[in-house]
Amino acid sequence: MRHGRSLAAEIARRGPGRRVIGLDIAQPYLTYARARHALSNLYIELGDAGSLPGAEGSFAASLAQLVLTFVPNPQQVAAEMVRVTRPGGVVASAVWDFCGGLVYQRILWNTAAALDPEAGRTRDRLFSNPLSTPEGLRRLWLTAGLADVEVGSLTIRMDYANFDDCWEPLFGGQGPVGTFAAGLSLDARQQLKTAVRGAFLCGRPDGLRSLTATAWAVRGLRSGR
């Protein structure tokens, strides 16, 4: 995921003595990341989060950024993160709080649901994912055998120059929104765009908007010596 690659680059920048590996399953993302983040201690590799490279206990920490709600088997991913982390090392993840903390997604999906019942069903499947709740994240980490599990929230602001700056990335073909968009006719997409634009503007002139985005975060320590 785009956010995961940025996280790997930030860790590499902050710790130039660390060897950091960023993993993604999509080659176009890897190409983009390698061109954007050229750091001597950062290795961006093709791979599946459900089968991580590295021997048992070979990493000081493992992190998954905004991805667990999109993988088919999050339990396997969590188990792999634990496996490759050394005893006492940190295993951490963050996932979007779709239901209560992601304004731009709420605007899109609630508007789409008002226009199309199928969009409402897609929204409900996405927003009701148990891993987008603190309880679900804590349960996953405890089931993976991690100790000293802590859950909290992280909030940032996402600044958009105007409506198009918010709209265009949503329909770039990525994730549930991209899949949903691929099934829309041109007329249906234009109808949705017009309605979402109205919700985005809220009666104000088009221009800069700063929208909050909150993620649930969980961390734990691998047990053992």
Q: Please enumerate in sequence order all residues whose Cβ is within 8 A of that of 102, keeping only pairs 6 or more positions apart, or say none.
A: 96, 213, 214
Is residue 57 within 8 A of residue 84, CB to CB? The reply is yes
Three-state DSSP state, 37: coil
Q: What is the pLDDT of residues 186-201, one digit of tens each?
A: 999 999 999 999 999 9
Q: Per-residue pLDDT tens for 23-70?
A: 988 888 888 888 888 889 999 999 999 999 999 999 999 999 999 999
Closest CA to 64 of 149, 137, 173, 172: 137
Tell me how far the alpha carbon of residue 160 is from its chain's centroid. Answer: 19
Q: Is the pLDDT of residue 3 over 60?
A: no
User: pLDDT (tens digit, 9 = 90+) per residue, 88-130?
Assistant: 999 999 999 999 999 999 999 999 999 999 999 999 999 999 9
- Given a cut of 50, whether residue 163 has pLDDT beyond it is yes
Query: 96: which 2 tokens?
Result: 């979007």
In the chain, the percentage of residues whose pLDDT exceeds 90 is: 79
Give the global pTM: 0.88
Domains and CATH numbers, the chain: 48-221 (3.40.50.150)
Confidence class for position 2, pLDDT limits 50, 70, 90: very low
Distance (Å, whole) CA 224 – CA 205: 58
Beta bridge partners of 215: 96, 154
Query: Helix %, strand %, coil % for the chain, to 5?
Result: 50, 25, 25
Q: What is the pLDDT of residue 209?
A: 97
Which residues lie below 8 Å from residue 26, measured CB to CB, with a gap of 6+? none
Give me the chain's average pLDDT, please: 92
Q: Residue 187 in contact with residue 114, Cβ under 8 Å?
A: no
C-alpha 154/C-alpha 152 separation (Å) is 7
Q: Where are the beta strands (DSSP E) in the chain?
A: 20-24, 42-46, 59-65, 85-96, 147-160, 209-221
Percentage of residues in the chain with pLDDT exceeding 70?
96
Output the pLDDT for position 173: 66
User: Mean of the pLDDT values across residues 147-157?
Assistant: 97
* Spatial distance between the Cα atoms of 82 and 99, rounded to a whole number of angstroms: 28
Q: Provide the pLDDT for residue 1.
A: 39
Distance CA 105, CA 219 (A): 25
Give dist(CA 135, CA 21) in Å, integer: 29
* CA atoms of 100 and 218, how far apart (whole Å): 17
CA 85 to mean position of chain CA atoms: 21
